[in-house]
Amino acid sequence: NLAYIPAQEVPDFYASDRLFNARSQSWNTGTNLAAGLPMDLDLATAMALRATLKGRLIAWDPITQSARWSVEHSNAWNGGVLSTAGGLVFQGRLEGEFAAYNAATGEKLWHQNVKSGAASGPGTYQIDGDQYVTITTGWGSAYALAGGSAYDQPVPPIVGKVVTFKLGATGTIPDPNLVMAPRTPKAERFGDAEMIQLGFEQYHFNCRVCHGPLAISSGVLPDLRWSSISASAEAWQAVVIDGVLADNGMVSFSDSLSRTDAEAVRAYVIKQAHDGAALEAEVAALMAAQAAEAAQP
C-alpha cells in the first residue's frame, strides 16, 4: 500500500522581466532568462550549481504520511515509475540505467544500462504467459534540451529506441554511434566588455531555451561553443539572421536580433568556448587526481 514517486529538485532563478513584451519565437513567460546566471563560471560555482540538482525514488506511505524508503539518484529528471503485483518497482535514470527495486524495501535487485537516456515511464504486458517490461529511451524532454550544465558529460544526439526485457532473453543493446564535435574553440576571443555583456543578455533571451544556459548544451542540440559556424561572422549571420538552416529547424531571428546583436552573441559564445575548454581541463585534472588518490593502498 505504497505510492512510488519519482521526485526531483530543480531550482532556478526567477525574476520578472520589467521590459517584457510578447514576441514570436520567444519564451514568453515574462521572466528574465539571464537573471542569476554568472558571466564567468569557475569550477567551484559549476560544482555548486550541479549539486543543487537532485532526484530520488520515494516509496510513500499514504497512511502514515511518511516515506517508507527512498533511493537517491545522481541527477534530476529521472524516469516514470512502474510497480508490479510481483513486488517490483521499475525506474529508469537520466544517465541510462534501468533498474528494478524491491517494492517493500527499496533494495536494487537488477539493473541494465540501456545506453541512452531512460527518462520515460516503463510499461509491462504479457504474451503467452511471458511477462515483458518495455521502456523507450533517448535524451528528449525539456531538461535535456535546455539543461546542458546539469549533465556531467554531454550526450550524443542519437535516435531513441524501444527496449524490451523478459526473463531468459539473450538480446543485446547496440552501442550508440558517438559522433561528437571536437570540444575546442573555433575562433579567438573578440569584443570588449560591453559587447560581451550585450551578447550574454541577447543569448539568454533568444538562445538559452534551446541551446542551454551559459551556452552549454546537453548535446541534444548543437553546442554553439564547439560549432564551426562560430568561427566566421559571415556564416553566423547567415544562420542567425538570414535563416539558411531554417529547413533544419534553426529559423531566422531577424525579427528579434539585429546584426549587431547577433555578432555580440557570437562574441559571448566564443568567450564561453574558451572558458569552457579551460574548465573542462580543470575538471579532467581534478578527476585524475581523485582517481589516483582512490587507487592508493
Domain that holds residue 71: 3-165
DSSP letters for 204-239: HHHTHHHH-GGG---SSS--GGG-GGGG-HHHHHHH
Within 10 angstroms of residue 12's Cβ, the number of other Cβ atoms is: 12
Q: Does 106 lie in the same domain as 22?
A: yes
Q: Does 250 lie in the same domain as 146?
A: no
Q: Is residue 27 part of a domain?
A: yes
Q: Does 231 lie in the same domain as 142?
A: no
The structural domain count of the chain equals: 2
Question: What was the pLDDT predicted at 223?
Answer: 92
Task: Give the CB-side neighbour count of residue 20, counting CA atoms within 13 A.
Answer: 13
Instruction: Tell me the per-residue pLDDT of 10-66, one tens digit each, with 9 for 90 and over.
Output: 888 888 888 888 877 777 888 888 888 889 988 888 888 888 999 999 999 999 999
Q: Who contacts 241 (Cβ-Cβ below 8 Å, separation ≥6)?
A: 252, 253, 254, 257, 259, 262
Give the span between the Cα atoms of 151 and 12, in whole angstroms.
15
Q: Is residue 126 part of a domain?
A: yes
285 versus 269: which is more confidently predicted?
269
Q: Is residue 178 part of a domain?
A: no
Instruction: Tell me the per-residue pLDDT of 112-137, one tens digit each, with 9 for 90 and over.
Output: 999 988 989 999 999 999 999 999 99
Question: What was the pLDDT predicted at 41?
Answer: 85
Q: Is residue 148 part of a domain?
A: yes
Question: What was the pLDDT predicted at 20?
Answer: 85
- Among 165, 185, 202, residue at a domain's last position: 165
Q: Does 207 lie in the same domain as 100?
A: no
Q: Who contacts 98 (Cβ-Cβ below 8 Å, separation ≥6)?
A: 79, 90, 91, 92, 111, 112, 113, 114, 118, 122, 135, 163
pLDDT category of residue 144 using cuts at 50, 70 and 90: confident
Instruction: Return contacts of 106-109, CB within 8 angstroms, 24+ apart.
Output: 106/57, 106/59, 106/68, 106/69, 106/70, 106/71, 108/71
Question: What was the pLDDT predicted at 84?
Answer: 96
Q: Is residue 282 part of a domain?
A: yes
Q: Does 154 lie in the same domain as 65?
A: yes
Q: Is residue 176 part of a domain?
A: no
pLDDT category of residue 287 using cuts at 50, 70 and 90: confident
Q: Does 160 lie in the same domain as 219?
A: no
Question: What was the pLDDT predicted at 19?
Answer: 82
Q: Does 268 lie in the same domain as 203?
A: yes
Query: What's the pTM value of the predicted model, to 2 decimals?
Result: 0.86
- CA 59, distance to chain mean position in Å, is 26
Q: Who contacts 11 (Cβ-Cβ below 8 Å, separation ≥6)?
A: 52, 53
Q: Is residue 174 part of a domain?
A: no
Q: Who contacts 26 (Cβ-Cβ below 8 Å, separation ≥6)?
A: 205, 206, 256
CATH number at residue 258: 1.10.760.10
Q: Is residue 186 part of a domain?
A: no
Q: Does 205 lie in the same domain as 87?
A: no
Q: Does 235 lie in the same domain as 94?
A: no
Give the span between the Cα atoms of 120 and 93, in whole angstroms.
9
Sign of CA dihedral 210, 213, 215, 221: negative
Question: What was the pLDDT predicted at 50?
Answer: 85
| Residue 40 vs residues 43, 133, 260, 268: alpha-carbon distances, Å | 10, 45, 22, 11
| Most confident range, picked from 9-13, 28-32, 173-177, 263-267 | 263-267
Q: Does 62 lie in the same domain as 202?
A: no
Terminal-residue alpha carbon distance, the chain: 47
Q: Does 8 lie in the same domain as 154?
A: yes
- Provide mean pLDDT across the span 249-265: 96
CATH number at residue 154: 2.40.10.480
Q: Does 208 lie in the same domain as 110?
A: no
